[in-house]
Structure 1
Amino acid sequence: MRLNSSRETREVAAGVAATRTGRSSAIMAAGTLVSRILGFARQWLLVAAIGGFGIADAFNTANTLPNTLYNLLAGGVLNAILVPTIVRALSKNRGKEGTDQVNALLTLASIILLGMVVVTVMLALPIVMLYGGGMPDDLFNLTVIFALWCLPQIFFYGTYALLGQVLNSLSSFGPYMWAPVVNNVIGITGLVLFIRLYGTAPAENFDTSTWDAPKIALLAGSMTLGIALQALVLLFPLKRLGFQLRANFQWRGLGFRHTGKVAAWAFAGIFANALMNLIATRIGSEANGAGNLAGEFYPATSLFGYATMLYMLPQSLVTISVSTAVFTAMAYHATQNDFPALSEDYLKALRLSSLFTILLAGMLIVGALPLANFTASALPPEQAQALATVLVILSLGIPGQTIFSTNTRVFYSLEDTRTQFLVTLPAPVLTGLFALVARFALPPDYWLEVTLIGEPLSLLVGGLIGLALLRRRGISAHVIRDASSHYLRCLVAVVLAGIPAWLVLYGVFEVPDENYTIADTFFSGFIRSLLVGFIMGSLYFFLTWVFNVTEVRDTVKTFADKVGRRPAGTATLGENERSAMSTDTSATESASWKAGTRNVFSQSFADARQAAQDNDNAVKVAAEESKLTVKIVAVGVALVCIIALVVWFWPRPQATTANETLDLSPQSELKVVPDAAPAPLPIAGVTSISGKNDGWDNAEMAPLAIDGKPETSWRTDAMRTSTLVDGRGFGLAINLGEAPVKVRKVIVTSSAKGGVLELRQTTAQDPSGGALLGSLPLADTVTYELAEPVETNQLVLWSTEMPTGPGGGFRLTVSEVQVLG
């Protein structure tokens, strides 16, 4: 029986495509997984190198600008027009003509990318103002300098996408997903060198004075170098495939009149999505500025960046891997107006992606805090909790994101970017509404979190609108019903799997607090994350099997068949095909995206022999790809182990604690002692002092320094520099009553660190005069013990060398003052 039916031909083709898609998706997912593991290591080193708040916000704002601007100005346009155009060019003519057309497209796109780099570098100041205008002046200036180093990444992001799409069109999917491994290795190397030269930074780091040209160049330059090599490494697989890259300026006949309209609507859609990110980033920078002014930590830009890296893992690991493998087939079927095949491509991508992304979304939500402890263990507990909260909010949108992203691929394959623009509109609208509510109705510590609620809502709304519109464009109704049923079963399974994981996680394990070291926090987060993954993964796949999810059922059946099968013989397929299978024989097979039975029909001897030869070739290719994948995974794992050992055994600077004895000078009358003598003297009152009477001493807060409550503090406003000159300075005047008393010891508790705090026997009118009784750096507890008692009724704590405040910036902070006699 011959394959005369177009339906039968399509089903056989779909079976072959399913095998290739699964293999290609696995190769891409493996590359993405190794890259993400290295990315987590790089992120951990970045937090250690520049902290998690302050300088980190400046760098993350600058370093995300190239990717944001590329996606805004070119990314969606390239996806919308490049892949369909390349598919048409290569499908019509695999020879010189098709190659010339692709080279013409690449030449034009490269020129556009170079122009984008020139323009954005020239406009770096207003661009940074748009995204990070809420930062303090010194951080803003540093962000602009970082941006000048990072903006050339736009060209290499575009080059990476261009070369990757050509490889994908040639059915070579692995290199595109493995190339980011190179980027992460370069980034990790740069950060290890950075820490070696400049040491680690506190979690809240606002000191810009130490950032000279070499320091900036090492940090930002290594990141740009990584992106460049990520793109250029794709030249090697292209050369191996025989594709010759050359400049071609013959742009006529490429159909730009049509693609111009497609590109315009694609740009509009990407602009709408970028506007959502702009709103969130700007709100983050506003929160950064508010936190710097108030001396408090508020979730800001860098926290948004860290959470986004974790939140994007399901999409990059699963959705992009699957949809990229299917996209070329989608584009081909769209150009052939084969809507039944396009519907099958869409359903296959959506079912396979959502099966894993829904599970990963549940893991991120339940295990948000362990993941924060694991991937950013240098963050204090308060910041880790804030990171977990942001991650939970974003992760709620992952199921909707999977629908939205898969819909986008279909619209792009149909070159219907106008409809894609319409379904993207809810994103900036909802995010903007939540941002307005947060900014003007809530305190700053809620600004970012409330703003981000709009993102998962917009993805869900846009995804559902896209489903309805795809039905009108020709996607089969049964596809929508099948996808809805699949989603419902997976969502129920992940909720049921998450409940016991949550109970075990928070009912058995202790949450790391400030008493945990960075290493303890790291390993605690790692163990708890593994536990969440094991419990939820096991229960989820069991429940989806119970709920009759086809993909899980087929995998279990295939595994069971392989385990129970006898060793196969060595006969060559096709040599005895007629004796092995009669024309009346029928069997059933399950497809991963369509339930039911299908007839397996025999072919003629010649057809079977050709199929056997094709199968042998496919097996050889698969074996070569598998060997290459194993080698690359082994190299990636080895790199991770080496980097982990280097980081673990790297010498760390030893901090001096407040309770250590300091030998200030041979004539010093003071020393820091571990315990305070229990003989407090009454304090009649306390007033704040400002050397220039500029009002930055917050006089109304001065009584908080003697209220007996360590959780309350007097503090100055934040300064941009630590050294105050021209008579400027800040302090507290302590009134011990009308009659002089003998003072032996003064104890100051503070949340500020460093600087110099002087103890003087003088008055508020002359804070820098009188007898200097002691001069010590601030710490949690500082004790001035006098060698001889001093009889006085007035003491002054005075500083012209400002310490680093708890929220960053340079400010004097005093929680409690005790005078003992």
Structure 2
Amino acid sequence: MSRMLRASAIMAAGTMVSRVTGFARTMVLAYAIGTRALGDSYNAAYAIPYSILDLLLLGVLSSVVVPMIVRAQQHDPDRGRAYEQRLLTLSAVALIGVAVLAVFAAPLLIDLYTDWTPGDRQYEVAVLLARFILPQLAFFGVGAVAGAILNTRDRYGAPMWAPVVNNLVVICVFLAYAVFSGSGNDIGAVSTGDLALLGLGTTAGIVAQAAILIVALRRVGFSFVPRFDLRNARLGEMARAGVWTIGYVIVTQLGFMLTTNLASAAGNAVEGHGISPYTLAFQLFQLPYGIIGVSVITAMLPRMSRAVGEGRLNDVRTEFGSSVRLICSLMVPVSLLLMVLGPAITVPIYGHGANSVADAVYIGNVLQVYGLALVPFALFQLLLRVFYSFGDTRTPVFIGAGTTAVNAVLMLVFYAMLPARYAVMGLALAYAVAYALGAMLAWWLASRLVHGLGGWTIGMALTRMYLAALPTAVLALAAVWIVTDVVNGLGFINSLIVLATGGGLGLLLYLGVAHRMRIPEVNSIVGMVAGRVGR
């Protein structure tokens, strides 16, 4: 037990520090190069290697590779050592080859992921940045496999903390650009040396991350010896096990490709309203789920899986219902606050340096629309875990693919209907509507599987949570109105005042109202906090 608690503490601390330094990284990025043409070129080039890795490796890493390593450790005479070496050799050779091809194919990739025209300055800058950034494919992939091997040895520290080093390296790179380059966010003035600093510096962060993981492997006694006897690498078994996951990744990447094309086209029409606002707002939107939802889901899935294995469907329904209510007891007020306070959140974070306050406000406008998606997205993820607890990986693929297809259609519709200055907000709205519909479909199918999910009880609980959160939304709206209309504008200090009043006091108001309404999940949170303060 003590070993498990220690591992959990290491993972929690590493995840929190990684998210904090990741936030600092995006802040420094916006400060150094802004969210206009140069920022869009960087974010487009930066997204491509991750899309390629999703297709080739990361989509099957947790669902296929880790279980196969564990199986080799359990059944092979050498406890899986030769299999691990084959896997690392295959990953290194394949990804080095992919990285080289990707560097040469950078113009084609930028053409696929954006709406920019070859020969334009923004296109050429993105291509050059991509050529500096794409070599990280090899290091990232090898690091991912190394991290998987470490996890199978119950070594969680390095995989959790290595991304922190990556973030720190990139933060230093962007600070160096801001200090030593006079180009700022001017894409016409940026030099090849400036782009090399940004691109190669980004790759250096991944190199440092991979180096830490490889050193950690050596410390647990893993000695890498290249092995090319790939007949024993069980590639056919890996392909069969990961086929559904790979199919889902392909569909989602096609949807992402459409998103970046539409966002880049919007940025062409209205500078500062393109890929960068979409990317930065999406990262902020994902943060509450990453902090609140993932921890609950991580604890929920093993308990539901055990209940399924023992035929206790009532316990599956109970576990699902309690998880939904616990997550939504916090997600509901946060989603309303995002819808009201979006610009007040983004101005203090992104309204500095090369990024203007107006640019930061637009990121906040996109975040406001994303607030609509927070609860449906969390419910969607919870519902997929019902299928995973039954060992069903195929149904989530079909649900996810259908949701992505609906998202794609809605993005095209909203993009055609809305003026260019609202196009990226329309992409966020399409995401929210698609996940709301996807959650409804997932609920119907999961309810048939479990013979009911307690929809009436959960619906009444959510209604009470929204009623308890209404005073919080009113307080936040009043704070925004007073500052924007009376004090005249959302500057840095004014935004902090709005956040302290509408966000800080608003959440305290929600906890108080929900406590008086006897919402059990909020009472548990209040009791836990009060108990810790009492100590």
TM-score by length of 2: 0.84
Equivalent position SS for 1:451: helix
Match of 2:439 in 1: 463
Is residue 267 of structure 1 aligned with residue 267 of structure 2? no
Native 8 Å contact 1:27 1:174 kept in 2: yes
Is residue 31 of structure 1 aligned with residue 34 of structure 2? no
Aligned counterparts of 2:487 and 2:198: Cα–Cα separation in 1: 30
By how many angstroms is 1:467 displaced?
A: 3.4
By how many angstroms is 1:125 displaced?
A: 1.3
By how many angstroms is 1:27 displaced?
A: 5.0
Match of 1:785 in 2: none
Kindly tell me: are residues 104 and 445 of structure 1, through their superposed partners in 2, closer, same or farther at Cα, counting changes over 3 Å? same
Aligned counterparts of 1:477 and 1:170: Cα–Cα separation in 2: 39
Is residue 385 of structure 1 aligned with residue 355 of structure 2? no
Match of 1:314 in 2: 288
What number of residue pairs does the alignment pair up?
530
Query: Would you tell me which structure has more strand in proportion to its own residues?
Result: 1
Is residue 124 of structure 1 aligned with residue 90 of structure 2? no
The higher radius of gyration belongs to 1
Matched residue type, 1:211 = S
By how many angstroms is 1:249 displaced?
A: 5.3
Kindly tell me: are residues 298 and 56 of structure 1, through their superposed partners in 2, closer, same or farther at Cα, counting changes over 3 Å? closer
By how many angstroms is 1:476 displaced?
A: 7.1
Q: Which has the higher contact order (CA 8 A, sep 6+)?
A: 2
Q: Which blocks of at least 5 consecutive residues in structure 1 are unaligned?
A: 1-15, 292-296, 566-821
Residues 24-423 of structure 1 mapped to structure 2, 5 A cutoff = 28-89=11-72, 92=74, 96-134=78-116, 137-199=120-182, 201=184, 205-207=186-188, 209-212=189-192, 214-238=193-217, 247=226, 257-291=236-270, 297=271, 299-323=273-297, 329=302, 337=309, 340=312, 343=316, 352-378=326-352, 379-408=355-384, 411=387, 416-423=392-399
Paired-residue identity, % = 27
Is residue 500 of structure 1 aligned with residue 475 of structure 2? yes
By how many angstroms is 1:148 displaced?
A: 0.9
Kindly tell me: are residues 563 and 38 of structure 1, through their superposed partners in 2, closer, same or farther at Cα, counting changes over 3 Å? closer
By how many angstroms is 1:177 displaced?
A: 3.5
Native 8 Å contact 1:330 1:410 kept in 2: no
By how many angstroms is 1:486 displaced?
A: 5.4
Native 8 Å contact 1:432 1:451 kept in 2: no
Kindly tell me: are residues 562 and 419 of structure 1, through their superposed partners in 2, closer, same or farther at Cα, counting changes over 3 Å? closer
Match of 2:495 in 1: 525
Is residue 539 of structure 1 aligned with residue 509 of structure 2? yes
Match of 2:410 in 1: 434
Native 8 Å contact 2:115 2:262 kept in 1: no
By how many angstroms is 1:200 displaced?
A: 6.0
Native 8 Å contact 2:305 2:390 kept in 1: no
Is residue 448 of structure 1 aligned with residue 427 of structure 2? no
Matched residue type, 2:476 = A
Give CA deviations for 1:17-70 in whole Å, capped at 9, x if unaligned. 9x968x866654543333333333332322232232111111111112112232
Equivalent position SS for 2:79: helix
Matched residue type, 2:53 = Y
Matched residue type, 1:39 = G
Q: Which blocks of at least 5 consecutive residues in structure 2 are unaligned?
A: none
By how many angstroms is 1:114 displaced?
A: 3.4
Aligned counterparts of 2:415 and 2:533: Cα–Cα separation in 1: 60
Native 8 Å contact 2:337 2:476 kept in 1: no
Equivalent position SS for 2:116: coil
Kindly tell me: are residues 279 and 511 of structure 1, through their superposed partners in 2, closer, same or farther at Cα, counting changes over 3 Å? farther
By how many angstroms is 1:458 displaced?
A: 1.5
Aligned counterparts of 1:427 and 1:439: Cα–Cα separation in 2: 18
Kindly tell me: are residues 360 and 250 of structure 1, through their superposed partners in 2, closer, same or farther at Cα, counting changes over 3 Å? farther
By how many angstroms is 1:239 displaced?
A: 5.1
By how many angstroms is 1:128 displaced?
A: 0.5
Matched residue type, 1:131 = Y
Aligned counterparts of 1:20 and 1:472: Cα–Cα separation in 2: 35
Matched residue type, 2:31 = A
By how many angstroms is 1:144 displaced?
A: 0.6
Aligned counterparts of 1:546 and 1:31: Cα–Cα separation in 2: 36
Native 8 Å contact 2:69 2:84 kept in 1: yes
Native 8 Å contact 1:42 1:188 kept in 2: yes
Native 8 Å contact 1:168 1:325 kept in 2: no
Kindly tell me: are residues 35 and 560 of structure 1, through their superposed partners in 2, closer, same or farther at Cα, counting changes over 3 Å? closer
Aligned counterparts of 2:295 and 2:506: Cα–Cα separation in 1: 23
Kindly tell me: are residues 431 and 526 of structure 1, through their superposed partners in 2, closer, same or farther at Cα, counting changes over 3 Å? same
Native 8 Å contact 2:146 2:213 kept in 1: yes
Match of 1:803 in 2: none
Give CA deviations for 1:448-482 in whole Å, capped at 9, x if unaligned. 22233111112222233233334455x57457777
Higher mean C-alpha displacement, 418-427 vs 114-123: 114-123
Kindly tell me: are residues 25 and 139 of structure 1, through their superposed partners in 2, closer, same or farther at Cα, counting changes over 3 Å? same
Equivalent position SS for 2:191: coil
Query: Would you tell me which structure has more helix in proportion to its own residues?
Result: 2
Equivalent position SS for 1:133: coil
Kindly tell me: are residues 230 and 264 of structure 1, through their superposed partners in 2, closer, same or farther at Cα, counting changes over 3 Å? same
